[in-house]
Structure 1
C-alpha cells in the first residue's frame, strides 16, 4: 500500500485484476438484461399473462435497491476481496435457483434474491478499481471494470437469448450461474487482499448527510431514466413506426451495446478534475439526442445511428461515480451502493414515464419527448450540484482567508 492509500501491484497484475472484476459486471449485465427478451418464454412456461410476467423484472430491480445498502451495511469492515467473492457466490446461488424455479411465485422470489448482490458487487468492484488507479485516473479504471456490462449487451445478451429460444431460458440462467462460480474462483485467486476503507458503519453513513451528494444522485435517478425510457420501448418503436422485421430489433440491441462500449471507453479517459463539466455536456447532448429520436424513427438507418449514440451515453455511469467520489470525503462504499440504487430507480422511472405515451394514444417514437424531459431533469440536478459546489468552495475560501 502506498502513502496515498493506493494499492501497489504490478502493471500486468492490475490488468488481470480489472479483467476479473469485469467478469462479475459482465455476469450482472447478462442476468439483468438477458431476462427481458426471455419474458414471453417465461410467461409461457408458467402460464401467466404478458402483464404479470413483468414482475420478474420489477422483482430484480427491487432486489438491487434493497440489497445494495443492506449488503454494504453488513460488510463495512470485510476485506474487499472477500466481499466480492461473497457477492459473486450469491450471483451463483440465486441465478441457479432461478433456473430451477418450479412456479411463477418462486421465480419472482428468486429474481428478487438475484438482484440483492447486484449493487453491492458493482459498488465494491468500481471502488476496488479506483483504489488501484494512479492519481487522477480513477474514472479510467472504473470504466474498465464497468466494461463487463457493456460487453454483455453486445455478446452475452444475444447469445443468452439465442440459447433461451432454441433450448430453454433455464439454461441461459444456468450459464450465468456457472459463470459466477468461475468468477468466485478467479476473484479469490487473482485479486489482491484489500482492506475496507471505511471507518465503521456509522461514519460511512454520515456521508449521506452531505447535501452535495444528493443532486448528483438525482442525475442518476432522473437523467438516466431518459435512457431506459427509450431502451424499453425501442422494440415497439421499430415495429409500429419504423415498420421493420422483428430481427432488426436484435440488431438494434447489439448496436446499443457497441455504443455503450465505445462511450464507456471514451468517457473513461476523462480526467477526474473535469468530470463535473463533462457530465453537464453529456446531459445536454442527450436532450438533443432524445428529441432527434422522434424523427429518426421513420428511417431505420438514422434510428440505428441514434441508438448507437444513446448507448454511448451509458459511459456517463463511471463519470458520475467519479464525480461523487470527488465530492464525498468518505463512505465511498456507501456512495457506490447508493448510486446503483439510483440507476435501478431510473430503470423503473423511465418505463413508467414512457408509458404515458401509450396510455394517451401517441406514437411509440414520441417516447423521445418524455426521454428529453427526463434528461432535462437530470441537467437541472447537475446545475443544482454545480451551484452547491461553488457555494461550498466560496465558504471554504472565506474560512481560509
Structure 2
C-alpha cells in the first residue's frame, strides 16, 4: 500500500497572517495543598514564575524568583479557600528568553472524593498575539481607509512605517523606496526613523545585483535577507554608511504591481545582526502588499490628474483658436464692409465727376464729407474714378484691391508722389 501524498502547505495572504500572528504559548501546572506544592508543570509555567531549578514537591513560594509574580499566585489562595474557580485576564508574565507575554489565567479547584479542595489547577492561554493582531489589524484597516479616501502617498507610507515600528517588538526601523520612472533607480518614499543623512545618501541608488538589500531585491524581484550588514558582500559600498546610522541587519521585499511591474521596495532594519523569523517575513509581505495598493492607487490618480490637465489645456487651446478665428473673421468682415463703402464712394464721386471733372474738395469722405483739397485721382478696374485727399486715397488703396492711382496725365500720380 502506497503512502498518501504529503499535504501541500497553503500559501498566500491568509498564511502570511497565520505566520504573522504565530502560535500561542500555554501555561499549565498542578498544585497541591495550601502551600501550592508543585506536582507537575510545563516549562512555560516554570519560566513564567522564574523557577529555574524546580522539582515536584517544592512549594510555589520557594520557586518564585520574579518580582510581581503575586499577580500569578494571589488567586491561588482564594480558589483554594473558597473552592470557586476564577479567571484573570491579560496577566503580564515572563516567558522564555525573558520576553513578556500576556495571558488569560484560569484557576480551577481540585477536589477529592468527598468534594474537599486539595489543590488548584492553573491553565494559562496566551493572549499576546491576539492583542497584537487586534492592534495591527486596526492600524492596517486605518491605512486602507487612508488609501480609499486618496490621502497623499507620503502620508500613507509614513503612517505605515510608523505603525510597524510602534507595534513590532524589538527595535525595528522601516524604509520604503519607490521605483524611479526611469526604471533604473530607487527614490526615497518613507523612512521616519532613519537619519536624514542616510536617507539622502540612498535616495536614487541604482537597481542592480549587489546594490545593498534594496537594490538587489528590486533587481531580482524577490526578497533579499541580509542578517549581518558588517560582513555581507551586498553592503560593501554602503557598510560605512550603515555603521554611521547604527544598522546591523536589513531584509528587503520588492513591492510589485498586480502585473508584476516594480513599484519599490519595503525594507526592515535592525540595530544588531539578526536573521528574520517567519513572523518577520510575514509582516513585511503583508505591508509590502498594502504599500503596492497605495502606490498603484497613487499612480492611477496621478495619471488621471495628468490626463484631466492635458484635456483642460487642449480645451483652452481650442477655445483660444476659436476666439482668434472669430476675431479674424470679424476683422475680415469689417474690411470687406469698408471696401464696399469706399467702392460706393468712388462710384458716387465718378457720377458727380461727369458734371464737375475736377472737384475742389475730396470726394471720398463718405456721408460725413471731407473738406480737404482734392489732390489725387484714383480709379478702379471697372472704370470708376474719383478725386480725394491723400488720407482718404491711402485708405482706399489699402482696403480696396482694385483701386489704383490714376494716370500721370490726369495729375494724380504726380500729386501723390510729390505730396
Whether the TM-score (by the shorter chain) exceeds 0.5 is no
Calculate the TM-score normalised by the size of structure 2: 0.17
Instruction: Name the structure with the higher helix share.
Output: 1
- Structure of greater Rg: 2
